Structure 1
Amino acid sequence: MSDETTPETTPGTQGAESPEEAAKNPLADLEVDLERLRTDLLYAQAETQNVRRRLEKEKADAIAYAATGFARDMLSVADNLSRALAAIPAEVAADERLKPLVTGIEMTARELDNVFQRNGITKIAAMGEALDPNRHQAIMEMESADAAPGTVVHEMQVGYMIKDRLLRPAMVGVAKAPAGHSVDLEA
């Protein structure tokens, strides 16, 4: 028996690796692991930043639109005040005994409009505008020789926005061409 061992039979070596190559592999493995960990760290930092941005946006939205439910409920108050003012005949409004009552209703409606404005609640323009399905809800079509088809010619209920979001669509009547008239679609 010989005391010499060949590299193939030396314990702890694999195949034809020399002792130097065997010593380099743990370092190479550590470098690969280090690079993988760096990549994982970068992905984790990016994900953390995305989560932080998303939470900041959600917080800002929650603050900006917190009053949405309350504002929707207040729209019926605004509608009722508008109907009350529209229902007052001119002779009643001119009556000196009822003038303070009419003035009080008008002032209440104005103050409600001011409160809406301060809180970013605005009326949606409808009359004479082209139908915008994102802001208007068409309830009916009305024949009209004066307005282009698709134009709002009647507003049944005022619509509102809260900042840049729809609070309630305007309920409108839209013009259509009178019967017997052809519409030039290429114009």
Structure 2
Amino acid sequence: MSDNTTNAPQTDLREETAEAAPEVAGQDRLAELENQLAEAKQQYLYAQAEIQNVRRRAEKDAADARNYAATSFARDVLSVADNLQRALAAIPADLRTDDKWKGLVTGLDATGREMESVLGRHGITKIEAMGQALDPNKHQAMIEMPSDQEPGTIVQEMQSGYMIKDRLLRPALVAVAKKPE
């Protein structure tokens, strides 16, 4: 009997341990599944954020392509506009009033205005330089000239500069004032 009494408490202890083991294992499994779920949620949120970033980047790239696709062509057309402006500036005043040349001069003036209008319709604007302070983001200083103007002020424009939308298309080539010697 003493063996039975010794065995009986051991059996009860084994039964309690056997019943507790699945409960502990179940809690461990539940904790593991909760961790996996939290990790999956985090990965989902990161993936959503990445998709949103890619979408925004693609939209910006498409908008830039639309706005600035003509940049190379516009640079080439600016040389034509420059030559036209030089030709108009070279016409002497007496030819402007001469009946033989008046039609040609009027046509060239109209062509110059139309060129400026076309550039403007495509977001290409002339940079104002004369009398402005030198801005290295818009102007390229070619020389310094002694002047009574404030040093760093643009006193001569050698070539007009242009912007396309909010980007520099071509810097203005300018002469900048310096203190007289």
In the superposition, the TM-score normalised over structure 1's length comes to 0.86
Q: 2:68 maps to which residue?
A: 65
Q: Which has the higher helix share?
A: 2
Q: 1:153 maps to which residue?
A: 155
For residue 134 of structure 1, the aligned residue among 134, 137, 144 is 137
For residue 34 of structure 2, the aligned residue among 4, 7, 31 is 31
Shift of 1:28: 1.1
Between the aligned residues of both structures, percent identity stands at 61
1:50-129 equivalence runs, <5 A: 50-129=53-132
Show CA shifts across 1:6-55 (max 9, x none).
87xx9xx9xxx833111211111111000000000000000100110111
The residue type paired with residue 169 of structure 1 is P
- Counterpart-to-counterpart distance in 1, 2:22 and 2:151: 88
Show CA shifts across 1:130-181 (max 9, x none).
0000000000000002x100000000000000110000000000000000xx
- Counterpart-to-counterpart distance in 2, 1:114 and 1:53: 33
Shift of 1:68: 1.0
For residue 47 of structure 1, the aligned residue among 46, 50, 55 is 50
- Counterpart-to-counterpart distance in 2, 1:120 and 1:89: 32
Q: 1:166 maps to which residue?
A: 168
Shift of 1:66: 1.3
| Structure 1 residue runs without a partner (length 5+) | 180-187
- State the Cα RMSD in Å: 1.9
Decide which structure has the larger Cα Rg and report it.
2
Structure 1 stretches of 4+ moved >4 Å: none
- Count of residues paired in the alignment: 170
- Counterpart-to-counterpart distance in 2, 1:171 and 1:103: 29
- Counterpart-to-counterpart distance in 2, 1:71 and 1:62: 14
| Structure 2 residue runs without a partner (length 5+) | 1-6
